[in-house]
A and B are shown apart, each in its own frame.
Chain A
């Protein structure tokens, strides 16, 4: 049950009930389904959203969506030969330019210390995300998939779990009462994409046929691959860390990878490019659309 989506006009993917509602109300003023007006991407770190969802995000931005990224951690650990403070500063600037390369309007940094989310208050992260959801009122959210397995960067798990809950309770008026006093109204985001890099061997298997389980969805990103490549290339500090660690491992075990014989700016960039190309021109998600919240009897 995989589905290809195109961010062009047309209501083919929408469920009947919703299509009727949308068409009935806005038929003469708005196209039935254009690019989502506002897309909110929650990310644990600078690289995950680029590698797992960058092509899709760029596609939406190209089609006219205003995209915002909230990066939960500061990426302070992922560098080679730089202290955490310096790493965090560079990662912030590089996350900004990666986001720009994808057509993102703004990348916001929450600044939690990378790889130390395990003991951070879950609801603390969630509540900050609720604030942004109510402020931006997104029509689409992207969050790290907390059910994806075998990603050793658990920040993505903690962030995904908090974001999933934020997506749910941002719509409920009994969460964060003071928001009512400052004009932030409850907001229900119609579409939710769970993203993850292909580390989970079973990521394409449907988890269940039950109604309320997000289904696999693939997005063809061939057209925006150049933007994804540019975004990945912008993450210089993290790319250098990956290249140098790989080289160190190969050296320690008496092996070589010809392009890393010399580790410099160009070989680091080349390796990052090979990585993005190796991920292919399809991005796989778990997707919960509008129909996710329409009980079966009304569909």
Chain B
């Protein structure tokens, strides 16, 4: 009886759509396979989850598929270097071990041979042997950025095909064994139509949210631009308004503060939807989800040895 009442009040409080809170799977290595320098932490996810994986003992690696030459106002070559450096700094804040840059040309991932990109991902998966892969949802709708769509597609095949001996058998020559990652966490914008519907919420603690905020604003080449704070201040001043929290901050500091609010706000929004303080939402692909006819059977019949 008690349970029923609790259940009913839960549903009433968070709505029928409240996402279940996910526990992290047991494992040692997590890899994020993403197109760009800054995709480890955005308003729609990941930085907090990476920090939590690290807190729970995982080794974390970041793969940046593009060279990010178009992000920033310093010209292609400099943008590439600055963005890579900032990605290294930001992922270090999250506790990640290494950034591996594939350096494909930014925003030209449309015509890139996907089998070639996938081959690089398979090589890295066999080298680092992740239990978990984080990436962009390849089934997201209305994605206009070809880098996101195509890197996600290459990832969608790489994560399991790396476990097949008949895929790139040449890797065995250098001692790399087939290895399949077992779990996927996919993210995408939630406000872009039907494609990406999260099925799980990951609770974050305060410290994980703080690291996420810091990782985000570390990408100064694209975020936390002093001009944005200057613009906000000027617009408010025209109406004789001001933000008390900006008192004593220069434009750069105020811009950083704004980005921190952004990350804090979105983490609270996702948290509220799941009935906790802070969270991020994902589409989680479990280890046997690719066997829809066997899933229920395995749940019932698999036991510890």
Q: What residues of chain A have their CB less than 8 Å away from a CB belonging to chain B?
A: 51, 76-84, 87, 115-116, 118-119, 149-150, 152, 154, 197-199, 201-202, 207, 242, 245-246, 249-250, 253-259, 271, 274-279
Contact = CB atoms under 8 A, between A and B. Distances in A.
B272 interface: no
A255 B305 contact: yes
Nearest to A116: B115
B291 A256 contact: no
A249 B182 contact: yes
B166 A274 contact: no
B142 to A, nearest CB: 13
Contact of B161 (A80, A115, A253, A276): A115
A84 B170 CA distance: 13
A255 B302 contact: yes
20 contacts: A77-B166, A79-B166, A80-B165, A115-B157, A116-B115, A118-B118, A119-B114, A119-B116, A149-B195, A152-B156, A197-B292, A199-B289, A201-B197, A249-B182, A250-B302, A254-B305, A256-B302, A257-B301, A274-B293, A279-B293
A76 to B, nearest CB: 6
Contacts of A276: 293
Interface in B90-135: 113-116, 118
B56 interface: no
B291 A149 contact: no
Nearest to B113: A119
A102 B154 CA distance: 34
Contacts of B163: 245
Given A77-B161, A87-B166, A249-B182, A257 B298 contact: yes
A256 B289 contact: no
Contact of A199 (B165, B290, B302): B290
A154 B302 contact: no
The 3 closest A-B pairs by CB, nearest first: A278-B293, A275-B293, A118-B114
B296 A278 contact: yes
B250 interface: no
Nearest to B186: A150
A152 B290 contact: yes
A76 B156 CA distance: 19
Given A118-B115, A256-B305, A277 B293 contact: yes
B115 A152 contact: no
B291 A115 contact: no
Contacts of A199: 289-290, 292
For the residues of B in contact with A, the DSSP-based class is loop
A87 B163 CA distance: 16
B195 A118 contact: no
A152 B160 contact: yes
Contacts of A246: 288, 291, 294, 298
Interface string B268-305: 00000000000000010101111111111110011111
Contacts of A271: 294
Contacts of A259: 301
Interface of B: 26, 113-116, 118, 139, 153-154, 156-157, 159-161, 163-167, 180, 182, 194-195, 197, 199, 283, 285, 287-298, 301-305
Contacts of A119: 113-116
B132 to A, nearest CB: 13
Contacts of A149: 139, 195
B185 to A, nearest CB: 13
A256 B113 CA distance: 40
Contacts of A277: 293
Given A152-B160, A275-B291, A275-B294, A84 B166 contact: yes
Contacts of B164: 77-78
A197 B295 CA distance: 13
A232 to B, nearest CB: 9
A259 to B, nearest CB: 8
A51 B293 contact: yes
B102 to A, nearest CB: 16
Nearest to B153: A154
A44 to B, nearest CB: 13
A98 to B, nearest CB: 16
A154 B156 contact: yes
A220 to B, nearest CB: 17
A255 B304 contact: yes
A101 to B, nearest CB: 17
Contacts of B197: 201-202
A82 B302 CA distance: 27
Contacts of B154: 118
Contacts of B167: 77, 115
Contacts of A81: 165
Given A115-B167, A116-B115, A202-B197, A258 B301 contact: yes
A132 to B, nearest CB: 26
A81 B156 CA distance: 24
Nearest to A88: B166
Contacts of B292: 197-199, 278-279
A130 to B, nearest CB: 24
Contacts of A118: 113-115, 118, 153-154, 157
Nearest to A154: B157
B139 A257 contact: no
A149 B152 CA distance: 13
Contacts of B295: 278
